[in-house]
Amino acid sequence: MMSTSRSGVEVRLEDLRRRYAGVTALDGLSLTMAPGELVALLGPSGCGKTTALRLVAGLEEANGGRVVIGGEDVTNVPANKREIGMVFQAYSLFPHMTAMQNVAFGMQLHEVGTEERRKRAGEMLELVGLSAHANKYAHQLSGGQQQRVALARALAIEPKVLLLDEPLSALDAKVRSRLRDEIRRVQLEVGTTTLFVTHDQEEALAIADRVGVMNAGRLEQLGPPTTIYSRPATPFVAEFVGLTNRLPGVVKGREVEVRGTRLPLVKPDSTDGPAIALVRPEAVSVAADGDVSSGPLIGTVIATVFLGATSRVTVDLGDITVLAQLPTSDAVALTAGTRVRLSLRTDPVLIARDEKAPTEA
Amino acid sequence: MTAAGNPAVAGVGRPITGGRRLSLTWVGAVPFLGYVSVFLFLPTIIIAAGAFLSDSGPTLSNFGNLSRSYIVSATINSLILSGITAVLGAALGAVLSYAIATGNPNGVLRRAAVSASGVLAQFGGVTLAFAALASIGPAGIVYLWMAQNNLDFYSSGTWLYDLRGLEVVYLYFQIPLMVLVFLPAVDGIRPQWREATESLGGNTWHYWRYVAGPLLAPAFLGATLLLFANSLSAYATAAALINQGGIILPLQISNAITSEVGLHEPGFAKAQAVVLIAIVGIVTALYAVLQRRTGRWLQ
Ligand SMILES: Nc1ncnc2c1ncn2[C@@H]1O[C@H](COP(=O)(O)OP(=O)(O)OP(=O)(O)O)[C@@H](O)[C@H]1O
Ligand SMILES: [Mg+2]
């Protein structure tokens, strides 16, 4: 079964609403996932990601809206009849069963014969690279191995949808990125439509076909990772995904003037007046030659961080600091204390009017 | 007996093993071993040795006397009393623990039930006997109220001073003791396990049969054993409630030590105590075997 890749089904969340005593966890969430697609739900803590996932799983009841899986309205179908694979944040393996028994358990509940069960559980463990650990109990496995068993267990019942709620957040950074790629490989191999919840933007951008950025119970933007990053639809997305400089400026017509540079607006219908321009570090370039005595974009390097091929330079302009990202070869000379002149690439920018920045989860 | 408190998730943390730690561990265990020697092993040896002595030297007659019919029936009564109150206490206490564990962790039920259990598990002796008399005694308010409402539970005789009475009264402390030792195990059951079972297609029955049941079984068995031993050795409550005869073994032991008819039989008392110790030993061994079968994942 697992050897041949299967085609997934379409999953639709329609205007989902959920309230807890006094808190609106989901405020009309709509999202359509194409068959076999992996969508990452990204957002700050408390924005409703887990709630959305639990509504799809049937572990929580919606106050409004529908969940449609493969054309069938399952809003009122109990969790154990929805054929959903779940991977939880941590500690979800049954501690009294071996890895093999954990993976076989779902098939046992579906009354698959013992032989068939063992064979398929073996295949699933092989798929996640844990054949050698089949007879270990959860406490004998590392955190990453436990999560791989959990993935195998979820997939063993051939679910229509795979749901993962921050499956990597309890792991350390190195294991996390390796397992992330592993999950993606397995998901592509089995072709199951997958919803992956995370508050880690790097994770979301790396793993997903499309990323849905959530804020306060609704979807702010849904799109491929590159679009989310390079063409954020709202200030919230711009500030939540990737690093963003918040530079004070003044809107005039279809442009915003920031420290003597005029930048075109993404949405040119803004009213004139003071505003914050959101400028990516990549759109800031740094020069140490020429006249660096005075000017609105002249300042001093206070830190340079090498990230590998690129480097991130922090420049103090007196009243504000600005982050610039440039090729490492251009940044070698920019040690702390160097006087530099910045220039802003005239890409269209988003502006924010309220002073409140979203909190990074 | 420590097995009773094994949380269901004992397997989550890895045991720290390392040869060099051993010597330190032993040093740390010295006070405990000393305590156990003085208050457990030494008395056991003295009792066991004394059981083979009479005024006139070594003898086996103390053990021969165990076949006296009143000793046999007291032993059987003790086993029945302990068996029934252990099983009922464990069952009812487990249900109560489950209700507490699934309720609000900061709620009134939990706080009230846990602190009440702490107090009631120590309830015994004259206080408990008096409480029983004042409530369900033939002149107790609960009895009188129920009798007035045609629920006369003494209509076929006052059983409060019989074995049945002891069974009811012992539950006063058996159920709270069960809550104390079993609640940590129930608290160790993670909600993810139920949700994982559900998403894998299981219903409530599957969850209890394959997940929660097996996970809680070792702790449940251990706690039941603890209740059994607790009841087997309880003396003060029975002594306060029943002032004549020796319906259960601890009362017979007391009679043999301080008989009012002047028959002091210290060796015989010790022989009876050896019987009690042997019963606890057998049950503990039985438990160890069961534990090894049910709790393999705990190692
Ligand atoms: N069982 C519950 N009872 C009451 N409020 C709840 C419950 N579950 C969630 N909430 C509230 O609903 C909102 C959304 O919660 P949710 O768990 O979906 O957030 P999340 O995006 O998954 O956050 P995180 O990244 O921290 O996991 C939060 O304000 C939370 O406090
Ligand atoms: Mg969450």
Residues B254-274 have pLDDT tens digits of: 888 886 666 778 888 999 999
Please list every residue in chain B whose beta carbon sits closer than 8 Å to the beta carbon of residue A157.
200-201
Q: Which of A84, A109, A137 sits opposite B11 (nearest CB)?
A: A137
For residue A124, pLDDT over 50 is answered with: yes
Atom index in ligand 1 nearest the CA of residue A60 equals: 1
Domain(s) of CATH 2.40.50.100: residues in chain A: 243-354
- Most confident stretch, A17-21, B29-33, B61-65: A17-21
For ligand 1, atom 1, which residue shows the shortest CA distance? A20
- For range A4-12, the mean pLDDT: 76
Quote the CA–CA distance of B89 and B120 in Å, as a whole number.
13
Please report which confidence band the pLDDT of residue A269 belongs to, taking 50, 70 and 90 as the band edges: confident
pLDDT of res. A295: 84
Q: Name the residue of A41, A42, A51, A163 to mutate for ligand 1: max ligand atoms within 8 A of Cβ.
A: A51
Q: Measured between CA atoms, how close is A335 to chain B, in angstroms?
A: 47
Residue in chain A closest to B13 (alpha carbons) equals: A139
Are A40 and A207 spatial neighbours (Cβ–Cβ below 8 Å)? yes
- In angstroms, the CA A342 to CA A297 distance is 5
Instruction: Classify strands A273-279 and A350-352 as parallel, antiparallel or unpaired.
Output: antiparallel
Structure tokens at A113: 């014969």
Chain B residue numbers with beta carbons less than 8 Å from the beta carbon of A120 are: none
Q: Note whether B200 contacts A83, CB cutoff 8 Å.
A: no
Q: How far apart are CA A150 and CA A300, in angstroms?
A: 51
A20 lines ligand 1 (CB under 6 A): yes
pLDDT, chain A, mean = 90
Asked whether A235 lines ligand 1 (CB < 6 A), one says no
- Within 13 Å of residue B60, how many CA atoms lie on the same side as its CB? 2
CATH topology of domain A243-354: OB fold (Dihydrolipoamide Acetyltransferase, E2P) (2.40.50)
Residues of B in contact with A153 (CB under 8 A): 196, 200
Contacts A137 to B, Cβ<8 Å = 11, 297
pLDDT tens for each residue of B189-203: 999 999 999 999 999
Q: How confident is the model at residue A219 (pLDDT cuts 50, 70, 90)?
A: very high
* pLDDT band at B19; cut points 50, 70, 90: very low
Band the pLDDT of B17: cuts 50, 70, 90.
very low
Q: What is the pLDDT of residue B245?
A: 75
Of residues A60 and B2, more confidence is placed in A60
- Paired tokens of A62: 């919606």
At residue A360, the pLDDT reads 43
Lowest mean pLDDT across A114-123, B6-15, B176-185, B287-296: B6-15
Measured between CA atoms, how close is A13 to chain B, in angstroms?
A: 18
Looking at residues A209-218, what average pLDDT do you find? Answer: 94
Is the sign of the CA dihedral A291, A293, A297, A301 positive or negative? Answer: positive
Is the model's pLDDT at A157 over the cut of 60? Answer: yes
Chain A nearest CA to B76, separation (Å): 37
- Residue A325: per-residue pLDDT: 93
Query: Best mutation site among A60, A77, A80 for testing chain B: the one with the most B CBs within 10 Å?
Result: A80
B/e letters for B17-47, b = 16+ CB within 10 Å, e = fewer, are eeeeeeeeeeeeeeeeeeeeeeeeeeeeeeb
- Domains of chain B plus CATH, in order, are 70-298 (1.10.3720.10)
C-alpha to C-alpha distance for B143 and B135, rounded to whole angstroms: 7
B11 touches chain A (CB under 8 A): yes
Q: What is the pLDDT of residue A77?
A: 95
**Mean per-residue pLDDT over chain B, rounded:** 84
Asked whether residue B8 carries a pLDDT value surpassing 80, the answer given is no
pLDDT of residue A98: 94
Pairwise CB contact (< 8 Å): B192 & A59:
no
Query: How much is the pLDDT for B38?
Result: 87
pLDDT at residue number B293: 67
- Judge: A79–B198 Cβ closer than 8 Å, yes or no: yes
Percentage of chain A beyond pLDDT 70 is: 96
Report whether A208 contacts A40 (CB < 8 A).
Answer: yes
Cα–Cα distance, A272 to A174 (Å, whole number)? 47
- A23 CB under 6 A from ligand 1? yes
User: Is the pLDDT score of B297 beyond 50?
Assistant: yes
In the predicted model, what is the mean pLDDT of residues B91-104? 92
Confidence of residue A354 (pLDDT cuts 50, 70, 90): low
Tell the residue nearest (CA) to atom 12 of ligand 1.
Answer: A25
pLDDT at residue B296 above 70?
A: no
Q: Identify all chain B residues contacting A103, using CB atoms and an 8 Å cutoff.
A: none
Q: State the Cα–Cα distance between residues B239 and A199, nearest whole angstrom.
A: 65
At the fourth CATH level, the homologous superfamily of domain A3-235 is: P-loop containing nucleotide triphosphate hydrolases (3.40.50.300)
Q: Does the beta carbon of A44 sit less than 6 angstroms from any atom of ligand 1?
A: no
